[in-house]
Structure 1
Amino acid sequence: MKMLVVCGSGLGSSFMIEMNVKDVLKDLSAEGIEVEHSDLGSATSDMADLFICGKDLADAASGLGELVVLDNILDENELKEKIGDKLKEKGVL
């Protein structure tokens, strides 16, 4: 499985979220999941199985594929809950 974190203009916030996703995956003991980051303009639907973004980009990112939309990109608890729920839904956890 592959996840791609996208942000609006570059790589700053998406890189930070990528690091947090990797920490969350460790906490959840989820293995074999690749995580990368990109700007929204460069992202394509074939780049990942699951896309992660802030709510400000949800509409623009909706065409990419399955989304995890974060209300607060700095809230690691929200990230862990939403990633955990999505992985359980997919049968990964």
Structure 2
Amino acid sequence: MVQMNLQALLQEMGLDINEFELDHMDVGSATPDSADYFFVEATLTTALPNLPEEKIVPLSSIIDREAAREALVKVLDERGIAHS
């Protein structure tokens, strides 16, 4: 669900989703080098002690597209990636 929302949001922001690699995994499979950012439901952040805090992007709800949009915009802005 999060992956699909992020893909749709990237497209809505006028970005080429082929320039981004989005994938999903279970909490136990996440390693620090498996992604630049981990978008996770906020209550799961404590289950990720092996990941650097700066890579974890907590979402207040995995079904709330506006929450996902806000989190995505923050990451894009931090990385200097222009979007609409």
TM-score (normalizing by structure 2): 0.83
Contact 1:51 1:68 in 2 (8 A): yes
The change in CA–CA distance for 1:62 and 1:88 in structure 2 (over 3 A counts) is: farther
Q: Does residue 69 of structure 1 match 2:58?
A: yes
Which structure would you say has the larger Rg? Answer: 2
> Could you tell me how far 1:74 is from its partner in structure 2?
0.9
Question: In percent, how many aligned pairs have the same letter?
Answer: 33
2:21 to 18, 26, 34: 34
Instruction: Name the Cα RMSD after superposition.
Output: 1.3
2:60 corresponds to which letter in structure 1? Answer: D
**SS of residue in 2 equivalent to 1:30:** coil
Structure showing the higher helix proportion among its residues: 2
Gap regions ≥5 residues in structure 1? 1-15
Gap regions ≥5 residues in structure 2? none
TM-score (normalizing by structure 1): 0.76
